Homo-oligomer: A and B are copies of this chain.
Amino acid sequence: MKRSYIREILDCINEDTISFAGGLPSSNNFPLKEIQEASKEVLKNEEALQYMSSRGLLALREQIALWYTKHLGFKTKASEILITTGSQQAFDMIGKTCIKEEVIVQEPSYIGALNAYKLLGLKLKGFKNISSLKNVLKQNNALYLMSTLQNPNTTSYNQKQKDECLLHLKESKSLLIEDDAYMFLRFDGKINIPISSFYEKSFHLGSFSKIIAPGLRVGWIRANESLLDKVIIVKEALDLHTSSLSQHIISSYLENNDIFAHLEKTKKDYKNKMEFMAFCLNKYIPSFHFNKPDGGMFIYGSFEQDSYLIAKKALEKNIAIVPASVFYYDNRQSKEARFNFSNANIQEIEKGIKIIASLL
């Protein structure tokens, strides 16, 4: 197995690199003051530094459960939430315990999930559209997907597509792993109802990385108790539990702040950056075809040449983008590429895209 292209880029970028590569939220948008306060508050007590239950902090699991019930129309108890060390850990844990030999993935898919499944020796098969899902989804298969603001291609399923997906799931009695890291990042403020809320045999994955801060490494799994019970055994063997301090900080932050007000500000900034990046792409690289995303942190589109070569040449000029071949389970050649717009500033966005344009 090779190292992740994105992680390798993160290793080799330096202060001169303009990175459109990683899924880095903008540091400027972290609720830094509020986290400083939360940290001060929770560190009054030694509990934030002690071992804790593998399931995670009860107060935090209750807060997350309430989100489901209130915002997603998806009635949930704290006992149906398991805290993970980032969403990334969920792929490994679920793959280990609940996927037998094969997992069906979107084309393209999130590279972190693909890597986790590959590492477990699972066989991957892809599908492009929901309508082609019935051709690959066998009885008791596992299906991994993102139904909202998919990473990398930024699309969301509409109700008809979700209904069709649900039909195939029910017919095949397959396990659904629904990764919803971007559920709260739609520019229009709407929250899509996940497919999981209509399907019992499902894991629904969330993350604080994109809505508070990724360096805390806190995500979660929502599933019914009998499914969660299988996963928790593995959680213990992997890292005992997720950072107590991170969990206490997030819980205190959520108790004392309105995260949705914070997200409104973040999304406004992201939308501005997205619009500017779209403007620059249209102006300097008119041959790059894309649709503007409805939210999230990426623009995804297609060059007229192999994007891997373009990405390599760009990296030599200290500009990082991600060629789509790394997002395909079979690493097929592709002209598509993903541009992150949340991390760089306006000046860097224009400069970076001009340099890429000069390489074409």
Residues of chain A at the chain B interface (Cβ within 8 Å): 1-4, 7, 10-11, 22, 24-25, 27-28, 30, 32, 35-36, 39-40, 43, 46-55, 85-86, 88-89, 91-92, 96, 112, 115-116, 118-119, 209, 213-217, 232-234, 236-246, 249
Contacts and interface: CB of A to CB of B under 8 A. Distances in A.
A214 B50 CA distance: 6
Contact of A7 (B36, B43, B54, B213): B54
Select the residue from A22, A36, A86 with max chain B CB neighbours within 10 A. A86
B49 A115 contact: no
A86 B213 contact: no
A238 B51 contact: no
Q: How many copies does the complex hold?
A: 2
Given A10-B53, A50-B27, A233-B3, A239 B217 contact: yes
Nearest to A85: B239
A190 to B, nearest CB: 27
Given A51-B10, A51-B24, A245-B215, A237 B46 contact: no
A49 B88 contact: no
A24 B49 CA distance: 11
Contacts of A216: 49, 243-245
Select the residue from A35, A213, A239 with max chain B CB neighbours within 10 A. A239
A92 B237 contact: yes
Contacts of A242: 217
B215 A48 contact: yes
B40 A24 contact: no
19 contacts: A7-B236, A24-B51, A27-B47, A30-B46, A32-B43, A39-B39, A47-B215, A49-B215, A85-B239, A86-B239, A88-B240, A91-B237, A115-B236, A116-B238, A119-B233, A119-B234, A215-B245, A217-B244, A243-B245
